[in-house]
Amino acid sequence: MNFWYFVGHSLSKLVAKFTCSFRVQNGEKLNDYEGGLVIASNHVSFLDPPFIGSAFKAPIFYFARSTLFEHPLANFILTRVNALPVNQGKPELSVLKKIIALLKEEEKVLIFPEGERSYDGQIKAEGQPGIGMIVTKAGVPVLPVRLFGPEKALPRGGKKLKKHPVTLVVGEPVDLSDIFSNTEITTKERYEKISLRIMEEITKLELVDSRGE
């Protein structure tokens, strides 16, 4: 963990705890994974990457909108906290290859299958097929997680952070064995089915105690 990631990680933990009473449900599962791991989450707020990252002991990589890197200061910080620029409309093949390489190097990567933040906190039925390609080519486990509350603390379009409880619910690794073993589908269909399965597993995650999220 480099200096800048350590600083960002520490600040994220403080903001998450004292502003949003951040907690992790089933958190004992988060740090059981050695080697490459895709962390697949819903996406409702700019708070999602730092809050999820703060829950992990090890550094994680994540996507950030490419336009954010245009400002020199933002570019300096983002590149040092493991952010990777991506075109939300059409992710470049080079970025996907970079993610696959990181996973094969046993890094952990946070991916939002929906591709963009939700306006109302609701989860889309389907995700982008890019995650299907990444998982297939990297050959690593997929851990579904779901955030409850960030859309109230800092919704899409919001400019001010509000005090509101936030919970990260951690699921079980997604079983994709039946899709991988299916020889009757095309590569494109395999990617789509994997993306759909991952979204289904994220959607299934529920809070034990809502605390108003």
Q: Which pLDDT does position 55 carry in this prediction? A: 95
Q: Which pLDDT does position 111 carry in this prediction? A: 94
Q: Which pLDDT does position 212 carry in this prediction? A: 55
Q: Which pLDDT does position 90 carry in this prediction? A: 64
pTM of the complete model beyond 0.85: yes
Q: Which pLDDT does position 94 carry in this prediction? A: 82
Q: Which two tokens stand for residue 63?
A: 């996507």
Q: Which two tokens stand for residue 25?
A: 């449900």
**DSSP states along 18-31:** HHH--EEETGGGTT
The percent of residues above 70 in pLDDT, for the chain, comes to 96
Handedness of CA 149, 153, 159, 161 (dihedral sign): negative
Measured distance CA(82)–CA(173) in Å, rounded: 23
Q: Collapsing DSSP states into helix, strand and coil, what is residue 188? A: helix
Domains of the chain: 3-204 (3.40.1130.10)
Cα angle: 197, vertex 53, 85; to 5 degrees: 80
Instruction: Enumerate residue ranges in the chain where pLDDT < 70.
Output: 88-91, 210-213
Q: Which pLDDT does position 210 carry in this prediction? A: 59
- Strand pairing partners for 24? 168
SS3 content of the chain, % helix, strand, coil (to 5): 40, 15, 45
Q: Which pLDDT does position 81 carry in this prediction? A: 92
Q: Which pLDDT does position 213 carry in this prediction? A: 61
